[in-house]
């Protein structure tokens, strides 16, 4: 499944973190290092499987835990209307 950034959302990296601003909803969302990387990978049009695979390569760790983390981040970003399914 692919996701796309909602039109108008602004992303700004601050060190390892990323701040997202949605001007239409006035929502601000702060992503930690992992969340910021998920955002970048989804912005590059990787699907969930590709995002999980890339994070496993970059961070190491348990693939099942990484999958759960990716799914939770995607759920939160979708709920807050920063991304949607494409």
Predicted confidence (pLDDT) per residue in 21-78, tens digit: 999 999 999 999 999 999 999 998 889 999 999 999 999 989 999 999 999 999 999 9
Domain that holds residue 41: 3-81
Phi–psi pair at 69, nearest 5 degrees: -65, -45
Asked if residue 86 is part of any domain, the answer here is: no
Asked if residue 54 is part of any domain, the answer here is: yes
> Quick check: 55 and 71 in contact, CB under 8 A?
no
Looking at residue 39, which CATH number applies to its domain?
1.10.10
State which H helix or E strand residue 29 sits in.
Answer: strand 27-31
Q: How many structural domains comprise the chain? A: 1
> In the prediction, which pLDDT does 45 show?
87
């Amino acid at each position: 499944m692919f996701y796309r950034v909602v039109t108008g959302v602004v992303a700004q990296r601050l060190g390892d973190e990323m701040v997202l601003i949605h001007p239409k909803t006035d929502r601000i969302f702060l992503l930690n290092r992992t969340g910021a990387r998920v955002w970048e990978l989804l912005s590059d049009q990787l699907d969930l499987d590709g995002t999980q695979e890339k994070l496993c390569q970059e961070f190491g760790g348990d693939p099942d835990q990484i999958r759960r983390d990716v799914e939770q981040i995607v759920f939160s970003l979708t709920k807050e209307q920063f991304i949607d399914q494409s």
